[in-house]
Amino acid sequence: MTERPDIATTPPSSAAPQRAAVVEVAGVSKVFAPRGQGAGRVEALVDIDLTVEAGEFVSLIGPSGCGKSTLLRIIGDLISPTTGAVTVNGKPAPRARLDRDYGMVFQAPVLFDWRTVQGNVELPLEVSRVSRAERAKRAADYLRLVELSDFAGHYPWQLSGGMQQRVAIARALAVDPAILLMDEPFGALDEMTRERMNLELLKVWERTETTIIFVTHSIAEAVFLSTRVVVMSPRPGRISAVVDIDLPRARTTETRELEAYFHLVTTVREALRGEERAGPGGDDEPPDPEARRVAAEGLSA
């Protein structure tokens, strides 16, 4: 568990297995300025650099208002950055979106009541003009992956919240995306369902070997799922620490009881709390870089 500010655009350094960068975020800032000048201007993100490599599971964690969802949306080209650039698979994000490199899962499943479960999974394939037979095959494959084969003919409202979210995951995976962007996908679920969904998501991740960026505000969830946790802090939104999760890759229920797991949870928690101390929250008050440095060092010690 080391704290290292990620530097994008630089070629991969001496890290052991050379993997291709799937996402490169370079110098991204986002300012929400309401029409008319002055008041209401919000610096949602400031100077974000982040590189995500193929097969990684990166969580973005931070308090409300730290811009983690905004960052995810910028990566997915749902909104554009004010400055900076996002590169996905070597292409600018808008190009990547047009090439349908993304799978997205939101907090709400956003399933369509007029389509069966299978119809919902086939939707993005229909949009990309995949043939009917191929659509049915892929929908069946991914429904099997999320263990909902028996419910292909059901309608979304006939499923529980957890099952609906699994359909949303199958739908996001159906296009075989280069990267899966998940915005608090289990935030609306109860704790029990959430833990089960975490395990299922890991299974899906292992089997598909996809790259995942996952927004959450649960520390436990972030540590349990990720290969790397990116800690963000608000006002202005920025990356304050990156914690490598060096737990064994195969995670099980027992992982949550490992000494190392507790240790990492504490590390992330302290990184979050350190930020609270550093930035006491006044909009006009510039964040104290010294305090941040101390907090960061404290956690890497």
Interacting residues with other proteins (CB under 8 A): 76, 78, 97-100, 102-104, 106, 108, 110, 112-114, 123-124, 126-128, 151, 153-155, 157-161, 164, 175, 181
H-only helix segments in the chain: 68-75, 93-98, 117-127, 132-145, 161-174, 191-208, 219-225, 259-278, 289-300
Minimum CB distance to other proteins smaller for 2 or for 160: 160
Minimum CB distance to other proteins smaller for 100 or for 217: 100
The minimum distance between CB 56 and other proteins, in angstroms, equals: 20
CB 178 within 8 A of CB 96: yes
Closest to 183 measured CA to CA, from 97, 108, 96, 120: 108
The minimum distance between CB 136 and other proteins, in angstroms, equals: 17
Minimum CB distance to other proteins smaller for 124 or for 279: 124
Burial degree of 31 (CB within 10 A; 0-12, 13-18, 19+): middle
Minimum CB distance to other proteins smaller for 147 or for 206: 147
The minimum distance between CB 162 and other proteins, in angstroms, equals: 10
In the Cβ-directed half-sphere of 37, how many Cα atoms lie within 13 Å?
0
Q: What's CA 125's distance to the chain center, in Å?
A: 23
Minimum CB distance to other proteins smaller for 7 or for 110: 110
Closest to 20 measured CA to CA, from 211, 204, 205: 211
Phi, psi at residue 295, to the nearest 5°? -60, -40
The minimum distance between CB 118 and other proteins, in angstroms, equals: 13
Q: Which two tokens stand for residue 248?
A: 């064994």
The minimum distance between CB 216 and other proteins, in angstroms, equals: 18
Q: Which two tokens stand for residue 107?
A: 């907090």
The minimum distance between CB 65 and other proteins, in angstroms, equals: 20
Minimum CB distance to other proteins smaller for 143 or for 223: 143
Minimum CB distance to other proteins smaller for 163 or for 245: 163
The minimum distance between CB 188 and other proteins, in angstroms, equals: 10
Burial degree of 166 (CB within 10 A; 0-12, 13-18, 19+): buried
Residue type, 252: T
What length does the chain have? 301
